[in-house]
Chains A and B, each alone.
Chain A
Amino acid sequence: MARVALIGNPNTGKTTLFNALCGARARTSNYPGTTTTIRTGALDRHQHIEVVDVPGLYDLHHHTPEMQVARGVLDAAGRGGADVVVIALDAANLTRNLVLAGEVLAYHRPVVVALNMMDLAQRRGLALDADALSKRLGVPVIPLVAREHHGIERLRDAIAAAAADGLVADSPADLPAGHLSLEKLTEWAERVAKAVTDESPRTAQHDSWTERLDALFTHPVAGMLAFIVIMCGLFWALFTLAAIPMDLIEAVFGQFASLLQSALPAGPVRDLIANGIVGGIAGTVVFLPQICLLFFLISLLEDTGYLARAAFVMDGVLSRFGLPGHAFVPLLTSHACAIPGIMSARLIPDQRDRLATILVAPFMSCSARLPVYVLLISLLFANNPLFAGIAFAACYLLGASAGLFTAWIFKRTVLKGHSRPMVLELPSYRRPSFTNALLTARDQGLAFLRTAGTVIVAICIVMWWLSAYPKVGATPEADALRAHAANSVSQQQTDALLSEADALDARAAQAGSFAGQLGHVIQPVFNPLGFDWQLTVGIVTSFLAREVFVSTMSVLEGGVGTGGDDGVVNRIRQMRRDDGSPVFTPATAASALIFFVLAMQCLPTLTVTRKETGSVKYAAMQFGYMSGLAYIAALITHVVLQTAGVR
């Protein structure tokens, strides 16, 4: 098995090149010991050759995580090391790209140069002589337009030949030996580029388009407008468009579970399979549409070159809180769901900034919190739509503010250090590649299922088990109702009585389950917030998914569902504590609302945080400070309202 490292500057079409060489069978994984992702795949028609796509980097001088991965791949001999290096160069940007090439040639490995984006160079009026470049560098140079698969065959053959020969060319004669400064390397690169390039007068014309688009996208007003439109589109797609496959997934799995219920004999095994396992898998797969759609759209946006400009639009606002402009997409996405939001933090070049963004992303009010907001705000402001609307907006504002404030604190304390300065290459604008976007979406979806997905299935099964066991028998009241129903004359009355009996049993089952018992046990902790044991059980069960809170409260209420949200809200409004007083006093509803805005109640999110940060420590930190902040804020709310006479 031969190993080929694909190295190059960012924005050289390396992803397209890699996909053309072996994309269909690529795997995304973390480079050992880092959270930097690399892609590996088998070279088409040469299955014994493995290609590793090393993250784009500008040179081997500059100490960055990408440089460490590249060095790791280049330095290591044998296992993990590279037998052949393919250097991807951007033909339209040759000088800077050749700096990295010069450094790589010094490693004395068999090298093949992929001179990509020849079409872009041609449009710019640049005529490159690949043969001349090959003579200057002393290695094969294959001109390509990777996006159209021009030259891919030749490149594949050249790689196979290099792997078979193992021949190492001498360093270029005019490249001085020894450790070279960037200045010396740049001088050499400039000489080589000049020698092999013929510039035509058309060069200036192409750049004017770039100038005009940049003027638009970075304009204080027009740029912000364009940004808002594009981000609204992105958010709409995630919130609305993704809902279609998500609903479909829930429906299909629901049907499947019903099928199993009728097909398998009653008992714990059937419950485990139909409710636990199938429910667990459904609860994991349901995240896929948003993840895949998000990465598809981000890939398109990044490919066009727009994202680099967009980062500057937001940088002015976000940098006040210690976050980079790049953090906008993850934070916006987290308003739909924090899981794809946290995964998309990969966009952020600086590791510390990325960490800060991941840690605060769950503060953004996600769509799972919506049913809870609707319920609690309806309880608070039943006949006052104006106040209800204001309360809604205030919840979103509270979440976002808490997130930004926390990021500001973290950057000054736990994550103190130099952030990457706001200096970005602005790549050429170009037509995005749908193939790349589809492959990225697929890779990210599969990576999610393989890693976080397996943990989330386990969590779902455990949470199901906590609510389902221990089994409690039918309650005496329910049995009485069933006896009554047996003697009833009208079908309607029979149905109503049986429903009531089932609801009473469901309530007893929830209360008597491990989750219910846990609620009873930890209730004293939540007493100062005004929560009784039923509300506490609701909090416990919503650790799997926040929206479960509404159904748990509904079950605990024990009444018969009359259908529709109004029915649920009214029933829950009438819930009583053990002493007969209402569960949801205004003070309690308010403190519960504040708690839900700020608390970390999503084990799947914690799983993804752990995976993306590579450490349990950060997931624990996220859980700790969010829960602490939520508790304190809810406590203050409850105490203040009670003191003010609102009971």
Chain B
Amino acid sequence: MPRSPKPVPLTNLRAGARVKLHEARVDHECREWLRALGLTDASDLRLCKHGDPCIIQVRSTRIGLSKAVASRVFVLDGPTASEP
């Protein structure tokens, strides 16, 4: 199944979704923090928990994001992700 081309915010996904980071539409400071924790450009991540906080796993790092931040992190969802 082809990947959906349209980037969606993390808040649109269900727990368990495996996706690839497309773009974080956040301020510079926030982007730097995300990259420092491992969320570099085009990195793969898994959504562990949606809601507030939103919890994602990048490689072996678990990261908690406030809903406000998660709603601005856009990912390319794969075949396993589904709309709520």
B65 touches A96 (CB 8 A): no
B48 touches A95 (CB 8 A): no
**Binary contact readout A96-137 vs B (1 if CB under 8 angstroms, 0 otherwise):** 100100000000000000000000000000000000000000
| Alpha-carbon gap, A580 to B52, bound state (A) | 62
**B39 closest partner in A (C-beta):** A423
B61 at the interface (CB under 8 A from A): yes
A95 touches B62 (CB 8 A): no
B residues near A422, Cβ cutoff 8 Å: 53, 64-66, 68-69
Name A's interface SS: helix
A424 at the interface (CB under 8 A from B): yes
- Please tell me the number of chain B residues within 8 Å of chain A, measured between CB atoms: 30
B residues near A183, Cβ cutoff 8 Å: 40-41
B66 touches A182 (CB 8 A): no
Interface locus among A209-217, A354-362, A613-621: A209-217
A418 touches B65 (CB 8 A): no
**Binary contact readout A304-319 vs B (1 if CB under 8 angstroms, 0 otherwise):** 0000110010011001
Shortest distance from the beta carbon of A615 to any chain B beta carbon, whole Å: 24
A484 at the interface (CB under 8 A from B): no
A62 touches B36 (CB 8 A): yes
Shortest distance from the beta carbon of A415 to any chain B beta carbon, whole Å: 15
Which among B36, B63, B66, B68 has the greatest number of chain A C-beta atoms within 10 A? B36
Shortest distance from the beta carbon of A9 to any chain B beta carbon, whole Å: 9
| Alpha-carbon gap, A139 to B59, bound state (A) | 25
| Alpha-carbon gap, A95 to B38, bound state (A) | 9
**B63 closest partner in A (C-beta):** A425
**B46 closest partner in A (C-beta):** A207
A214 touches B48 (CB 8 A): yes
* Complex interface residues of chain B between 30 and 53 (CB less than 8 A to chain A): 30, 32-38, 40-41, 43, 48-49, 51-53
| Alpha-carbon gap, A424 to B53, bound state (A) | 10
**B-side interface residues toward A, CB under 8 Å?**
26-27, 29-30, 32-38, 40-41, 43, 48-49, 51-53, 55, 59-66, 68-69
10 additional A-B residue pairs with CB within 8 Å, beyond A182-B40, A220-B51, A423-B37: A58-B36, A59-B36, A61-B35, A93-B60, A93-B61, A186-B43, A422-B65, A423-B66, A425-B61, A426-B55
25 contacts between A and B (CB under 8 A): A58-B37, A61-B36, A62-B36, A92-B60, A93-B60, A96-B59, A183-B41, A210-B62, A214-B49, A218-B49, A220-B51, A220-B52, A420-B33, A421-B30, A421-B66, A421-B69, A422-B66, A422-B68, A423-B33, A423-B37, A423-B63, A423-B66, A425-B37, A425-B61, A425-B63
The 7 closest A-B pairs by CB, nearest first: A422-B66, A58-B36, A421-B30, A426-B62, A312-B53, A62-B36, A96-B38
